[in-house]
Amino acid sequence: MRKSFPYRLVYAPQVYQHLKVIEPKYYSLIRNEIEKRLKFQPTVETKNQKPLKRPVISEGEWELRLGPDNRFRVFYEVDTEHREFKILAVGIKEGRRLFVGGEELRL
């Protein structure tokens, strides 16, 4: 069995602004889930990890759903050549509405 090497995690600068509207008690949950689910296989499609049919966030290729009732959305892109994935946005899904940094995005 071939050993898989982890991908490097990079956060876009705007992500820190996005997190300011999320309750701090969820920060470690979000960080831990990102690392657990994406570090080795960021391009494997699962029930809660999917490629986007059309970008919600510019350059965003993938979406990760996590947290209570899958209310948090993490949008990211993957650079397989350099083995890194970049978190572009973290948002909150409320019903059919998505909020990133306190602003509603059109789905």
**Res 87: pLDDT:** 96
Among 105, 40, 95, 102, CA closest to 70: 95
Q: How many domains does the chain have?
A: 1
Average pLDDT, the chain: 91
The answer to whether residue 98 is domain-embedded is yes
The answer to whether residue 78 is domain-embedded is yes
The answer to whether residue 2 is domain-embedded is no
The answer to whether residue 42 is domain-embedded is yes
The answer to whether residue 74 is domain-embedded is yes
| CATH code, domain carrying 18 | 3.30.2310.20
**Res 1: pLDDT:** 47
By residue range, what is the domain housing residue 96? Answer: 8-105
| pLDDT digit string, tens, across residues 81-102 | 999 999 999 999 999 999 999 9
Q: Does the pLDDT at position 47 exceed 90?
A: yes
Burial of 10 (0-12, 13-18, 19+ CB in 10 A): middle
The answer to whether residue 3 is domain-embedded is no
